[in-house]
Every structure is written in structure tokens, then in C-alpha cells.
A and B are shown apart, each in its own frame.
Chain A
Amino acid sequence: MCGIAGLINQKRVRENGSRIKKGIVLQTERGNGLGAGYAAYGIYPEYADLYAIHLIAVNRQSLEKAQKFLEQHFFIHAAGNIPVWNHQINDHPLLWRYFVEPRPCRTEHTLSYRADDYAIEKVMEVNRILEDAFVFSSGKNMGVFKGVGTPQEIYDFYCLDDYAGYCWLAHNRFPTNTPGWWGGAHPFNLLSCSIVHNGEISSYGVNRRFLEGFGYYCRMQTDSEVVAYLLDLLMRRHELTIEEATLVLAPPYWIAAEQLADEAVRDKVIALKIIYEAAMLNGPFAILAACADGLFGITDNTKLRPMTVGRNGAYTFFASEVSALYEMDEDLQNIYMPRAGQPCIVRLDADGTPGSCPESDYICSQIIQ
């Protein structure tokens, strides 16, 4: 059992973390104090074009090694401690952040890489090769803040009152399969994709092997990690839309796919199911995912983990429990309970027009009926 919460303003109006904190702290009973975390989008506008690398290092030595590695492969425009208030949590690893730009690649081989691929490759190298140092956030103009503690403790620890973001994710962890450690707390992030997850991914063994075939290596000792990498692979590298990516992660049953009335849609759903069989998630899950285009939630086909959605104007809120929605906004206009397996997608407005209602984005329900 875990608790999740998320909020987004489609017009990119920024706010500090106080509302998302209320939403996740209300769900304290869903965690056990062994992990909590937040992701915030739009918090580093002054470095909007640089990768914001958040790094955990167990000791000075590993920090220096990681720093040296980053210097080798990136131009570091700014660096420093992530500000923390360590009155409640004082036994914590070293937490640093760097705003970086990839160095021009030297060899012909790496010249063909796009900057994002290059950044991911280096992030994976830090996590794979360097001992006791992990990059846990690498997107632009966003950041993940997580650790071992309750949601309130972690919020205070990272001073999240001081950040302003237009999209927030929060997680309250009740670790079951894996140890509660700083890298294992949610959200999990890779470039612009961040996820929080409630549940257990029974397909982890094959998801992980599938990802290794594309150069993603899982080192955080927990199943949820694969979702962030899968989204990066599907949406950035394979150029799937959010709707298509959700079809891959939480596909309709074969029996439903084969009965789709529209032949073109049917062919597409079947093709996605075949190609991305090993990317499909199995087991109970409710996942909130934020990416460059917006925020979306998906659940497993039997909805063994809860997910509720509330709306008020340009704001959309997600939470495990309805009470948490009201905790974030007392004046909600609509509340939705997405049906099992059906994604709920909220896109950022590119042009500033009023946001569409989330139910119009229930792509699967439109397809399957």
C-alpha cells in the first residue's frame, strides 16, 4: 500500500508545494515512514535549458567521484548542495544538484547521439558503475526530492515551500519487496518523465530485461523504477503519444482488443500489444506520470489500486483517496473515478486556451466502449 497525489495547472501557473503536501500528508496511513518524495515541474526557470541533475552520494568520496564524472561529460553551469533543513532528519546522504549541458561529443559514434540520449547514457553510467552515487533526477526545469521519512518530514527536509511548480507529484511509501532507502523512494525520474506508483509490478522481471535491450539499467532495487524508463523509451525515443504509451503500459485485454469495431484502431492496438508485450505492466498498480506534455494516471485492468481525479478550472488533481482531493482544493467542480485500466490524461496548454475536461481524454474508453 502506498499513497499518491498529483496536481497540474494546464496554464502553467506555478505554486509552491503546500497544497500537494496537504494532499499526501492526509494519506499518512498509506505509508510507514520508510519513504516519501515529491516531483515538481517548472521550478528552475533560470536554468530551463539545462539538465538539472540531482545526485545522492553516500559519502564524500563517492560524491567527488561522481562530480568528476559529470565534469568529464558535461559543462556544469551551476552546482551546489540541495538546500535541506536537517532538524528532523539528520542521518541523510549527501544531496547535490548540478545544472549541466552535454559536452560536444568527441568520437564519431557519440556524435550521432541526440543530447537527451547522451544525458541518459551518462545518468545510467553513474548509476551502474559508480559506487554509492545515484542520479535520481535529470530533467530540465524540474526536480525530484525524495528520501526516507514521512511525507511531512521529507517536505520540510527539502524546504519545498521555497519551490514554485505548475505540476507536482507526491508519494508516501510502504515498501514491501525492497529496502527503504533514499534511492528507492518515489518519484522515479528520467529526463522529463517522473512517476509515482502504488502497487507491485509482477512483470518487473521482463520489463527490466526489455529495457536493458535499449540501454536502460535498473539500479534502484525496486520495481517502480521501470515505469519511468519505459515512458522515456516509448514517448521520447519511439515517439508514441501519451495515449499510445498508456495503451502499451496498461493495454486492453486481447478479448477486448480483438473486438474493437474500428479496424484501423484494432490493428493498431494489436500491433502495439505485440511489439510491446514485454513493456506491458502486470500486477496491481495505480501510476501517476508527469512528462513534458502533462500529467496522466493509469491503473491496472482490474483497478486493484485506487485512483481518483478532481477538477477545478485549469487545475486537475489526482490522489489515491477522494478526501485528499478535497484537501488540495475545497472547491472541486468535478470528481471522477476512472474505470479500471482506463487512463486519465491532462495535457498542458500550448496556446493558453482553457484546458479540456479529462474525460474527453479517456482514450481507452472511447476505443473500447
Chain B
Amino acid sequence: MTIAVSSPGLRSFFRPLFDREYCDGCGQCAVECSFNEIRMETRAGRKIPVANGRSCGACHRCELTCPRGAIRIKEDGMPLRPHGVWHADAVNRVHLQAASGAVALTGLGADTSLPVYFDRLLFNACQVTNPAIDPQRELMETVTYLGRKAQSWQEIADVSSFHRSLIPLSMPLLFAPMSYGSVNLSFQLAMARVARKKGLLWYSGEGGLHRDLYSYSDCVVLQVASGRFGVSREYMQLGRAYQIKIGQGAKPGIGGHLPGEKVLPGISETRMIPLGSDAISPAPQHDIYSIEDLRLLIYAIKEASGYKPVCVKIAAVHNVAAIASGVVRAGADMLYLDGYRGGTGATPAIVRDNVGIPLELALAAVDQRLRDERIRHRASIIAAGGIRNSGDVMKAIALGADAVAIGSACLVACGCHVCQRCNSGKCPWGITTNDEKLAARLDPAWAEERLTNLVEGWHHEMREIMGLNGIYDIGSFRGNRLILRGVGLSDRELAVLGIKHAGE
């Protein structure tokens, strides 16, 4: 049995406040709230909204859809006597579990207060001796090729087929795997359209590929996860590339979990499982108990797909550099590294918040290890997990990533306010839900526009950051750690990140 960690054990931390002066009792808020926080009552002959005070999660749906602008969400936690250890979250969690005996579930990435290393890194800029480049006036290029490259010119047997075996991106950005089921088709469609339009890639996630999206398969990386959902002969022909999912940053060591109530007709068909049955992916892939087994699966997928690039997704864990080396030597063409802050549709909070290591440290360690072993050219590194803006993207690139995948940022672009209740299936913004009424709230055309804007805005900023460093091609930014300096980091942290401290 599982319960949502966001459902309060004491009472809700937030509360919608209604401004009676503006409210005309239209009742829209009660319709919009998918968590039944708001009900309409008639008092003194007037219809008014009333908050239950039990389930507001600060999704801000009612506030932003109120036609009269009459609602504000306020923090409304139960004040507890301050305690250095027993802070409100800890108390709440015990109350919850004592009441239910369940595993507390949550959605999105870890919300702990551990340091976000991206925030401790600062970029360099040109002054005097080296002119900054103005991206408004001069050519700036972000073309990126993903896949297995070569260490030298002599290694290439066939020049004409070499770059055609790789995947070109117009900029080093991808849409992270979010399965059909965890999100809905409208959202996947929006990602697919933007990926096509902007020369990017999107990932299907582990839920297979819905027939309606077959026409976008030339820019999709299809996933083969431990549940093998949706994997068929046809599926093995469709994708631009394939991804073997070993682990996920939000839940290293455990498999995906889609509750039966979310397994609706389209999802059941795409995943090839009975309607209403729980789609529980095993923790390991049951044909991969060792690195040799991984190699077998990589080559099985290559054989089945006509030698398309194969990506292996692993979570950032303690020994990630050695694991990455093994994965690359096993034949992976791309390594997808998902960090501690990586998002999820549903995961036990205890796992999300306590397992794995931050992306920044893992990425730096993996990139250096692959270079030390002189196999860096064999696989592209895709970094993911808590990327919030183009600054994070460029910091990851400077640390050594070939490209960066964004998931949560896409949700936020389409209305999400990070209420962390993706697991509920009641996403009020119509993204992480397949409830017919709720899902209808997400207009794919609008979502496409929002994602396009996000990508274009970030692209401008990425070029700005390159330009102010006097770099016109992202290739000279990639792995260029001299561009970064750390602030407030220990010698150990700086050593792992492979950067100098500010002022050095």
C-alpha cells in the first residue's frame, strides 16, 4: 500500500484564500481543483467557495484560472515549536505513516536542502585581451553530434558513412524520458513536435510509443526498460535510437511504477498489458545481472534495430565513474546520466530524498574517468537531473556533457507549479494525468508553443554565454572546465569537479 507524502498528516501546508470582494461565486475554482480542496456553499443566499484545509498542495490552478483574480494561495502550515531535528516535514511524515502503515510516495525531483552545485559554479567572461562575441551580430553554433565517434582520423574506415551513423542536434538539448502513462499523449505530442521542429530528440520513456506518435519516430529515442512495455518487432524498427534504462536519478535501484488505475485503454494498448493492471517494472532488468549481460542486450538491440545508436541510462550513484566505464566498454554509444535531483512521476520519498549523488559531481567524475581511460570518444554523455535553466545546461556542458536532457523544466513550461503530486494522477494542469477531463486541460498546440519558447529562449542564452566567453562553437565549450570557477566549495569538491576556486 502506498500513500502520497503530500497529503498532510496534520493538515495542509497551504490554503486558498478567497477575496469576497471580488468573488462572484461562479464556482470555477471548485471545478478546477482536482484535489477536492474547494467546495461551494450557499451562505446568506450567496454562493461562496470554501476551503477544506486538508488537501491544498499549492498547484495554483484555482488561483490562476479564477476569472475574477479573487484567490491567493497562502502558506498555512501548522506552527510547531521549532526543533533542530523534528522539523515539520519529519513530524508530518511520522503522522502519515503511523496512520497508514504505507510507503510514502511523491513526484518530481528531490526537494531536500542539500547544496545544488550548479549554484556554486560561476562562468568566466572575456575582458580586454579576448573580445567577447555578440551573438546578435555574429555566427554562433551549437551543432552537436551524438553517438560513437572515433579517436583519430585513421580509425574511420568509411568517411561517407561516419557522420551518418551519428545523431545531429541543432543544440545540445533533449527532452527527458517521460512515459505515456506517467504523462499524457498531448504532452508527448508537444515534445515530439518541438523536437522535430527544433532539431532535437525526445525520449518515449518506458511506456512504449503510441500509434499516434509513430510519425514522430525519426526524432525519438525509444526506451527498453525492465518492464519491456511496448517492445515489439515493429517498435525495434521505429526509433532514431534506443535506450536501455538501468536506473533513474529519482529512484536508483528501483523500477518504474504505474498504478492500475492509470492503465487506461490507450496506455494498456501501448504498453501491451491488460486494462487496469499495475505496470510495475522490476528493479533490475531480469536479463541483466552483470555487465556481460548488458553487453548482450546492447548488441541484441543493435541487431534488432539495424545498428541504431544505443543509449544506456544509469542513475548517479557512488561508484558511477567505474560503472560508466563498464557501460561504455560494453558497447553503449550514449551514456545517459541521471542525477540525484532527477524527476519522476512516482517514487517513494525515502528513496528520492536519500539515494544517489548530485549530477554535477557524477558528471565531472564520469567525464574525467572516461578521458583517463581514453574511451571518452566512444560514447556521448547526456546529463540530466535538476536542470532548471540555460545556465545549468552550459555548466553541465562545460563539466563535460555532450548534451543535456530536461524533464521537469518541460512540465513547468506547460503550467506545472512543482506541487510534487505527479504520482496522484490528478495533475490539475493536465500534464501528469490521463484522466480524460484533466488531460483535456492541456492543449497540445499551446504546450508546443510553450516548449518552443522555452527552447528558443534557452538557445539565445546559451549563445550569449558562449559569446561572452569568446567562443563561437559549443565544441570548444564542451569539457572546458577552465570556464568555471567554484564559490564556497571545499578542496575535495573542487577536485572532484575538476575546477578552480574563484580568485585562483
Contact = CB atoms under 8 A, between A and B. Distances in A.
Interface stretch (A32-40, A117-125, A202-210, A309-317): A202-210
B472 A301 contact: yes
A302 interface: yes
A253 B140 CA distance: 9
B470 interface: yes
B129 interface: yes
Contacts of A255: 139, 141
A223 to B, nearest CB: 9
12 contacts: A203-B476, A239-B153, A253-B473, A254-B143, A264-B160, A267-B163, A274-B163, A275-B151, A275-B156, A276-B153, A280-B476, A284-B130
Interface in B425-475: 469-473, 475
B129 A240 contact: no
Interface string B133-172: 1000011010101000111111010011011001000000
Nearest to A175: B129
A277 interface: yes
Contacts of B152: 237-238, 275
A89 interface: no
Contact of B478 (A202, A206, A212, A281): A206
A282 B471 contact: yes
Contacts of B154: 238-239
Contact of A267 (B129, B138, B160, B480): B160
B263 to A, nearest CB: 43
A271 interface: yes
A219 interface: no
> Which 8 residue pairs spanning A and B have beta carbons closest together?
A205-B482, A203-B476, A282-B476, A205-B480, A277-B475, A176-B129, A200-B130, A206-B480
A368 interface: no
Interface of A: 176-177, 199-200, 202-206, 209-210, 212-214, 237-240, 244, 253-255, 263-264, 267-268, 270-278, 280-284, 301-302, 304
Contacts of A210: 479
Q: Is the interface of B mostly helix, strand, loop or mixed?
A: loop
Contacts of A304: 131
Contacts of B311: none
A274 B168 CA distance: 10
B131 A213 contact: no
Interface of B: 126, 128-131, 133, 138-139, 141, 143, 145, 149-154, 156, 159-160, 162-163, 166, 371, 374, 376-377, 469-473, 475-483
Nearest to B128: A176
A219 B371 CA distance: 19
Nearest to A285: B130
Contacts of A263: 160
Nearest to A200: B130
A272 B153 contact: yes
Given A202-B471, A282-B470, A271 B371 contact: no
B166 to A, nearest CB: 7
Contacts of A176: 128-129
Contact of B470 (A267, A275, A284): A284
A302 B138 contact: yes
Contact of A271 (B128, B131, B163, B473): B163
A177 to B, nearest CB: 7
Contacts of A283: 130, 470-471
A332 B424 CA distance: 81
Contacts of A276: 153
